[in-house]
A and B are shown apart, each in its own frame.
Chain A
C-alpha cells in the first residue's frame, strides 16, 4: 500500500508506518475485505490531509502528517464504532449467540417499538431453542413431543399426556431439528436486518 501513498520524508514515513501498523492491529477482528476497505479509506484520508497540510509553505511533511492524524481524531471515536457495527451485524446474521444477545440488548434500549420487537424476537429464540432441545431429547425419550388433547388443546410436553394423541411421534425429532434450525436462521436474518436499522 506504500506505493499508493508516496511519503518523501523518512521521519514522516516512520510515523505513517506506525499509524498503519496500529490501524492493522485495531482492524484485525474484521473479515479481510472489510479490513482492507476501511484501512485504505483511512489511509487515503490521512494522505490527502497530509498533502494538503504539506503544501503550506510553513509546514514540513512530518509535521503535516502529525496534524493530519490529530485532525482524524482518536481511533476510539471512529475505528471502534465501525468495528462494532460491522461485527455485530455480520455475526448476528450468521447466528452467533453472543452477537444475537448483544443485538437484542442494544435493540431493547432504543425505545418502545424496539423493545417490543426485541421481546417478540427474544420469545422467538426461546421457542426455537426449546423445540430444538425437545427434538433432540425425543430421540432418547419418545414421549417428549407435541400432544393433541381431546378438548382440542395442543401442548408441548416432556411426558405422555392422558387422553391425548402425540403428533408425528416417528418424525418429531427430524421435523423439530430441521424447523428449529430454519427458524433460528430466519430469526437471525430478521435480527441482523433490525440491527442494521438501529440508529
Chain B
C-alpha cells in the first residue's frame, strides 16, 4: 500500500526528531551511559534507530552544555562513559516539555476533530 510506504518513511524521521528530548528526559532521572541509554530508549519508546546515532546527538548536547560526561572504570566489565544532565540541560528540558505539551495538545485537538 502506498500509505504504508509513506508511513514507513515518516515514522523514523518523526521519532529521530524526538530523540534529543527523550535523551534529556531519561537523563533527568539520573546519569547513564550510551549502551544503557540506547536499550532504555528502545524499551520505553519502541524507537528502532541504529544505536550509533545516539552518539552524534550526545556529542551535540554536550557541546551545547546540556550534558556533561565522565569515564568510569568498574573492577568488572568495560569502562563506561556516563552522561549527566546539567543545570542548563534541566532548564532547556523544562522549555522542551512546555513546547511538547502545547504541540501535543494542539495536534490531539486536530486529531479529535478530524
Binding site for B on A (CB under 8 A): 4-5, 37-38, 40-45, 47-49, 52, 71-75, 77-79, 81-82, 85-86, 89, 196-197, 199
Say how far B41's CB is from chain A's closest CB, in angstroms. 13
Contacts A40-B79, A41-B34, A44-B79 given; indicate if A49 touches B51 (C-beta within 8 A).
Answer: yes
Please name the 6 residue pairs, one residue from A and one from B, whose CB atoms are nearest each other, closest first.
A73-B50, A78-B52, A81-B56, A48-B35, A73-B52, A72-B52
- Once A73-B50, A78-B50 are accepted as A-B contacts, the answer to whether A38 and B64 lie under 8 Å apart by CB is no
C-alpha spacing A49/B78, complex, angstroms: 11
A82 adjacent to B78 (CB under 8 Å): no
Sorting the interface of chain B by its residue count into under 10, 10 to 19, 20 to 34 or 35 or more gives: 20 to 34
Would you call B80 and A82 a contact (CB within 8 A)?
A: no
- Main SS of chain A's interface residues? helix
If A40-B71, A73-B53 are given as contacts, then 9 extra A-B residue pairs at C-beta distance below 8 Å, sorted by A number, are: A4-B79, A38-B55, A42-B52, A42-B55, A44-B79, A44-B80, A48-B78, A78-B52, A82-B56
List chain A residues, Cβ under 8 A from B81.
37, 40-41, 44
